[in-house]
Amino acid sequence: MVSLLPLTVACPQCGSQDVVYSCEPDCCFNHVCGRCYTSFELITRLVGEQPGTLDTPKAERDSCAPTVACARCESIEVCLLDTGETPPRLICLSCHALLALGFTEVSPRAEHFGF
Ligand SMILES: [Zn+2]
Ligand SMILES: [Zn+2]
């Protein structure tokens, strides 16, 4: 039995999970860390497929919660698979693709403040 968790991400710069989605799925997947203000985009990479049916949680979407699109079908119904693996696997609830999470466009804020 696999259990699903809402997507959480740790800042690639400081590791904080205080990460806010700052844009719209129609535009991009830019996120900002609430601790060090690093901004980054989330991407996924297809790594396999989950066989069988899934017990899909019916959770309300929080528009500030971390959001990423499926690498295969571009759905944003992407959850964490609670398997204890590191790095954690993600799963697309629309097409059952197994996904690995990645970061792109990482830009630490510190340099802009001249630290
Ligand atoms: Zn951070
Ligand atoms: Zn998909």
Query: Where is average pLDDT lowest: 10-19, 33-42, 48-57?
Result: 48-57
59-74 pLDDT tens trace = 677 888 999 999 999 9
pLDDT at residue 115, as a whole number: 47
Distance of CA 21 to the CA centre of its chain: 9
Ligand 2 geometric centre to CA of 33 (Å): 26
Ligand 1 geometric centre to CA of 34 (Å): 7
Q: Note the ligand closest to the C-alpha atom of 72.
A: 2
Ligand 1 geometric centre to CA of 56 (Å): 30
How far apart CA 43 and CA 55 sit, in angstroms, is: 24
Q: Which domain holds residue 109?
A: 4-113
Please answer whether residues 7 and 68 qualify as being in contact, where contact means their C-beta atoms are separated by less than 8 angstroms.
Answer: yes
pLDDT at residue 53, as a whole number: 76
What residue type is 3 in one-letter code?
A: S
Ligand 2 geometric centre to CA of 54 (Å): 13
Residues whose CB is less than 8 angstroms from the CB of residue 63 and which lie 6 or more positions away in sequence, other chains included: 21
Domain count, the chain: 1
Ligand 1 geometric centre to CA of 36 (Å): 4
Ligand 2 geometric centre to CA of 96 (Å): 6
Please determine, for residue 110, whether its predicted confidence score (pLDDT) is greater than 80.
no
